[in-house]
Amino acid sequence: MSRYRLRILDKLCWGCKTCEVACKQENRAPTGVKLIEVSEDGPYWRDDELRFVFRVERCRHCGTAPCADACPTGAISQRQDGIVVLDRDECTGCRDCLAACSFDAIAFDDARGVATKCNLCYHRIDRGLLPACADNVCLAHCIHLHGADIID
Amino acid sequence: MTEFRYANAPREMEAYGYDRVVKSHCRMCHGGCGMLVYLKDGRVEKVGGDPDCPISHGTVCSKGLASVQLAYHPDRLTHPLRRLGPKASGRWERISWDEALDTIAERMLAYREEHGAESVVLGYGTGRENEAVIYRFANYFGSPNVLTAGHFCYGPRIATTVITCGSNVIVDYDNNPRCIMVWGNNVTISNPDCYKGEPFSQALNAGAKLIVVDPRLTRVAARADIWLQLRPGTDTALALGMANVIIEEELYDHDFVANQVHGWEEFKARAAEYPLEKTTEITWVPQEKIRAAARLFATTKPAAVQWGVAIEQQVTCADNNRALLALMGITGNIDVPGGQMLFKQPPIRNVSQFGAHKALPPEQAAKRLGGDVFRLAGNFGIINPKFVWDAVLTEQPYPVKMLFFISSNPLMTRANAREVYSALEKVDFMAVADFFVTPTAELADIVLPAATWLEMDYIGDFWKRHGWLLPRRKVIQVGECRSDHEMLNDLAHRVGMGEHFWDDFEQGLDWILEPSGITFQEFLQMDHFRRAVTYQKYLVKGFSTPTRKFELYSTKLEEWGYDPLPQYREPPESPVSRPELARDYPYVLITGARQPGFFHSENRQLPWARELHPDPIVEIHPATAEKEGIRDGDWVVIESPRGRIRQKAKLTEGILPQVIAAQHAWWFPEKRDPGHGWDESNVNILIDNGYDHCDPAMGATSIRTLLCKVSPEDLRDRSAAGDWTAAGWDRPVTSSDLGRGDASARAGAPPAGVHSDSKEGE
């Protein structure tokens, strides 16, 4: 079975942050919690030239999913299609997954006392819809769902 | 673009149980993007882009997606208010529309009777697709004074292109320019009139070369083949220096120059005043970069200039535009595929006809404030704001007694904010129409609740020059909010101008469309329309100018007593023009870089937008910061000879050490006192609005280039912002608690309703 993941071409990103708000509209993450975040890399000098790009940070849905291994309650699991799902209702707020993630892609929802992250809008994918951030909102067309051909 | 056409509306409806989806046209900025609005039980649940939109191709922005948070915001004004206490006391009472409009009408008529129609000034901020109806109202009422941002935003593009080549020239992204020169514009972040970032982005992906002129390293600049980091305010010199390279190296379009331009020899002589060495001295851009950019732009066909507002907010406003027009013209890129198009609108009554400019009696037009001073502006119905403040404060040349601002927050967005405050405090009577009670509205006598784009019918983009028309469809009613058009249409009847307006504003929309042979209801059945595009129309008809040529040498400017050729002038407040002042204020302050999520002073109370930018940010080079003892993230004081404000420091190498960049229009709606922190971080407090700080032809205020100093705050972590996360803005709003959040205003009132509208979008 094909594996879903987000393919984001950082070098095309303009930093407009539309993906952040598209995610908010869909997933209603509380203020202060971002499941996708556009960050600045630079400006810095290299080869006598100033470099400056945006980096779009989000869960990579790793093949090995160290966050799932770290979770003591089984609140994080990987689906057959590769999507790593964090079930907030099962989370006890121990933060072990935050420490295990090398992409710093898991946030902590202080209000609810639980970890939270991008679940790749699996609730949309399962209904034949693209994740909110990848559904043609991006003016640079830099966010794509790899494996979207499965959807049709 | 077909590979990107997602947004599967039927499946969205099924998955979420929406009962309706309506195609409409966003107006969180100036308008432009096609939207899909999803509803359930008469309430907007979600908005998304319309993949069939010919302008945005289904992509959206952060502002557009936050529309739902605006429409149903708990602080939203949903019924008219009358002020009870003194100005800025924050004491209001709810009144009916009838009471509100009758009060306004009564005052307008009384002022006209006693002081003349010119004593009543209507105003709007940046274009919100209400410009034409406001002018129509003012013109029939007899007032020549409509206070807009037109003196330094878009108005100059219209005025300078009309006198040079007949109309605004729009980049033809559909036909992929091979070279794009972005000049003072962050097109993928901002909302430059007539443009969206997506087609620009696609042209780059298709391989277009990119030249960027910007004092800041935007991401667009970082991606450029050539980035010209110029000294702020020296654009005309740079453009003329480039023109000189193109002329000296014979890289211009000989055929176009020989047959289509007026004033070639004179222009050549003017450009020759800018040899590279001198141009570099003025602009700080290295000679080899200027030469390389000029060659790349002139030898790559088709090429286009993507311009924006930054070059218009300078004392060389009109000449910046005219110098860039010259570059477009002499390289043969006018009205060609992939170049700068003179698109024609469908046959409708255009903004000029709808605006009824011919209805203003000539003796009233002659009274336009500053019309004889800024004569290019005056000929386009545009006034400089200081004339209005002066007329309120000094009653010269005549008193202004009433202000009526519609979608405008001049206390935050006009230069010399303290003078603006004095004028708004003094003016006899002021009405404001807006979404919220803004710092400007806190000084009003009557505040009217304005509709968002979700609550109005309109002919979207009919004021723009890209030629497309798109239906905006009313999908909801929030409280008693009314569109600017509806409220003015109603008010027109109350001041005895009903014959020039309509029983219902939809008839006004019918009247605009009539020459196309369709009604507004028929228009609603369409996705969009545009007239067939034709190129190089000048070969047959010439240009719509007095000489029928592309006027490098402007006969109109000459007639009005100005230099007919673009000429560089040093900014009135720069290290070069004011070296003694620069000893105390050593840095060049630039202002107004656009931020995702905000539209000038708007959206600070929308959590999804505010979260992107919680604080006002000032950009400082690390070397400068070290010298001044400033660390990244410190709150700092920025000071000019006019005053001081506070913003939060961000250190970046993307700006020259001599330059500092502050954000504009910041207020803090989370601060519940009536000032809402209007003077904490408001960059307009720092700006001189004197007439000698304005472009002599256009009256554009120099807000982009001034002198400042910067220093650390004693309490570096003392924020100017309040705790907006605790304001309750992100709690779900139900229809029953929509209101001002003001118990006294709501007491005894029926709950404001959110009703479904029966209009079907498709």
pLDDT in tens, B384-400: 999 999 999 999 999 99
Whether B214 and B259 map to the same domain: the answer is yes
Indicate the residue among B443, B470, B504 that finishes a domain: B504
Tally of structural domains, chain B? 4
Q: Residue B608 is part of a domain; what is its CATH number?
A: 2.40.40.20
Q: Which chain A residues are closer than 8 Å to B198 by Cβ?
A: 139-141
Q: Is residue B192 very low, low, confident or very high in pLDDT (cuts 50, 70, 90)?
A: confident
Q: Is residue B732 very low, low, confident or very high in pLDDT (cuts 50, 70, 90)?
A: low
Whether B66 and B99 map to the same domain: the answer is no
Distance, in angstroms, between B528 CA and closest chain A CA? 20
Query: How far is Cα B416 from Cα B424, in angstroms, rounded to an integer?
Result: 13
For the stretch B199-225, pLDDT in tens is: 999 999 999 999 999 999 999 999 999
Whether B411 and B306 map to the same domain: the answer is no
The question of ipTM being above 0.85 is answered as yes
Q: Which chain B residues are closer than 8 Å to A136 by Cβ?
A: 4-7, 49, 51, 57-59
Please state the separation of Cα B213 from the chain's center in Å: 20
Confirm if B709 and B645 have CB atoms less than 8 A apart: no
Residue pointed to by tokens 């962050």: B186
- CB of B199 within 8 Å of any CB in chain A? no
% of chain B beyond a pLDDT of 70: 95
Tell the burial category of B585 from Cβ atoms under 10 Å away from its Cβ (0-12, 13-18, 19+).
buried
pLDDT in the model for residue B747: 31
Note whether residue B740 is domain-resident: no
- CB of A30 within 8 Å of any CB in chain B? yes
- CB of A17 within 8 Å of any CB in chain B? yes
For the stretch B470-498, pLDDT in tens is: 999 999 999 999 999 999 999 999 999 99
Whether B272 and B310 map to the same domain: the answer is yes
User: Within 10 Å of residue B515's Cβ, how many Cβ atoms?
Assistant: 13
The whole-number average pLDDT for the span B644-670 is: 98
Note whether residue B521 is domain-resident: no
Indicate the residue among B311, B341, B371 that finishes a domain: B341
Whether B120 and B261 map to the same domain: the answer is no
A64: tokens are 């090995």
Q: Is residue B536 very low, low, confident or very high in pLDDT (cuts 50, 70, 90)?
A: very high
Q: Which chain B residues are closer than 8 Å to A29 by Cβ?
A: none
The whole-number average pLDDT for the span B728-739 is: 59
Selected residues 521-580 of chain B with any CB under 8 Å from a CB in chain A: none
**Range with the poorest average pLDDT among A6-10, A79-83, B613-617, B741-745:** B741-745
Say whether pLDDT at B31 is over 90: no
Q: Secondary structure of B321-343 in the HEC alphabet?
A: HHHHHHHHHHCCCECCCCCEECC
Of B739, B729, B731, residue with least CA distance to B480: B739
Interface-testing mutation among A14, A56, A149, with chain B (most B C-beta atoms within 10 A): A14
Q: Which residue has the higher pLDDT, A82 or B730?
A: A82
Whether B264 and B284 map to the same domain: the answer is yes
Confirm if B183 and B303 have CB atoms less than 8 A apart: no
Of B237, B246, B249, residue with least CA distance to B273: B237
B205/A12 Cβ within 8 A: yes
For the stretch B676-696, pLDDT in tens is: 999 999 999 999 999 999 999
Whether B67 and B86 map to the same domain: the answer is no
Note whether residue B515 is domain-resident: no
Of B352, B342, B353, residue with least CA distance to B531: B342
Note whether residue B546 is domain-resident: no
Range B355-383 burial, b when 16+ CB lie within 10 A, else e: bbbebbeeebbebbbbbebbbbbbbbbbb
Note whether residue B272 is domain-resident: yes
Give the type of residue at B406: I
Indicate the residue among B478, B504, B530 that finishes a domain: B504
Whether B89 and B64 map to the same domain: the answer is no
Whether B294 and B434 map to the same domain: the answer is no
The whole-number average pLDDT for the span B729-739 is: 57
For the stretch B35-78, pLDDT in tens is: 999 999 999 999 999 999 999 999 999 999 999 999 999 999 99
For B516, phi and psi rounded to 5 degrees?
-85, -5
- CB of B65 within 8 Å of any CB in chain A? yes
Say whether pLDDT at B757 is over 70: no
Strand B643-651 and strand B635-640: pairing?
Answer: antiparallel
Q: Is residue A3 very low, low, confident or very high in pLDDT (cuts 50, 70, 90)?
A: confident
B676: tokens are 């809402």
Q: Residue B243 is part of a domain; what is its CATH number?
A: 3.40.228.10
Alpha-carbon separation of residue A66 from A76, A91, A103, B58, B559 (angstroms): 10, 16, 11, 36, 75
Q: Is residue B713 very low, low, confident or very high in pLDDT (cuts 50, 70, 90)?
A: confident
pLDDT in the model for residue B761: 33
The whole-number average pLDDT for the span B409-420 is: 98
What is the SS3 assignment for B44?
strand
* Average pLDDT of chain B, as a whole number: 94
Of B590, B597, B108, B86, residue with least CA distance to B314: B590
Distance, in angstroms, between B707 CA and closest chain A CA? 25
| Structural domains of chain A, with CATH | 5-150 (3.30.70.20)
Interface-testing mutation among B2, B29, B65, B72, with chain A (most A C-beta atoms within 10 A): B65
Whether B436 and B315 map to the same domain: the answer is no
Q: Which chain B residues are closer than 8 Å to A128 by Cβ?
A: 8, 11, 15
Domain span holding position B20: 2-71
Note whether residue B511 is domain-resident: no
For B225, nearest residue in chain A (alpha carbons): A49
- According to DSSP H, which parts of B575-643 are helical? 579-584, 607-610, 622-628
DSSP H/E element including B614: none
Q: Residue B51 is part of a domain; what is its CATH number?
A: 3.30.200.210
Whether B479 and B623 map to the same domain: the answer is no
Note whether residue B744 is domain-resident: no
A86: tokens are 């964090």
Selected residues 611-650 of chain B with any CB under 8 Å from a CB in chain A: 611-612
Confirm if B655 and B217 have CB atoms less than 8 A apart: yes
Query: How far is Cα B118 from Cα B111, in angstroms, rounded to an integer?
Result: 9
Whether B385 and B312 map to the same domain: the answer is no
Note whether residue B187 is domain-resident: yes
Q: Secondary structure of B304-319 in the HEC alphabet?
A: EEEECCHHHCCCCHHH
For the stretch B547-594, pLDDT in tens is: 999 999 999 999 999 999 999 999 999 999 999 999 999 999 999 999
Q: Is residue B715 very low, low, confident or very high in pLDDT (cuts 50, 70, 90)?
A: confident
Strand B587-591 and strand B659-662: pairing?
Answer: parallel
% of chain B beyond a pLDDT of 90: 91
Interface-testing mutation among A48, A139, A151, with chain B (most B C-beta atoms within 10 A): A139
Distance, in angstroms, between B202 CA and closest chain A CA? 7
Say whether pLDDT at B751 is over 50: no
Residue pointed to by tokens 């494996």: A147
For B125, phi and psi rounded to 5 degrees?
-90, -120
